[in-house]
Amino acid sequence: MKLEKEVKDRMIRNILLSLFIYALPILLMFLYFYLTGQKPWIK
């Protein structure tokens, strides 16, 4: 029993989007530190 191409394609698209979502909070956090001049890791 194989995956239908449509399901497989949607899954791949969604996984790529998920990788971006995993990175998003970290990117936003560092953008916030950059904008506010904070460097909490130095403390």
Partner 1 sequence: MIQFIEAIFENLNTWGFAALTLIIGVIEFSLGLYGKNWNRNEKLLDLVCYALPRLVTRPLVAYFGLKFLPYLLPHGKDALTWVPFFWGFVIICIYDDLTQYWYHRLHHEIPWLWRFHRTHHSAPYMGMSMASRQNVIYTIFFSQTYLTTILVYLGLGYPALFAKGIKSLITKMAHSSIKWDKPFYEKKWLQPIAWVMERVISTPATHHAHHADTTDDGVGYYKGNFGNMFFFWDMLFGTALITRQYPKSYGISHYEGDEWYAQFLWPLLKSSVPGSELAASGPMVRADVKASDERFDSEKEEPDLPLETNPIEQRLIT
Alpha carbons 27 and 19: distance in angstroms, whole number: 12
24 binds partner 1 (CB under 8 A): yes
- Rule CB under 8 A: choose which of 4, 5, 16, 35 binds partner 1: 4
Identified binder of partner 1 from the candidate list 9, 18, 27, 34, rule CB under 8 A: 18
User: Which tokens go with 9?
Assistant: 């394609």
Contact between 12 and partner 1 (CB under 8 A)?
A: no
Closer to partner 1 at the Cβ: 37 or 41?
41
Tell which residue, 19, 23, 42, has the closest CA to residue 31: 23
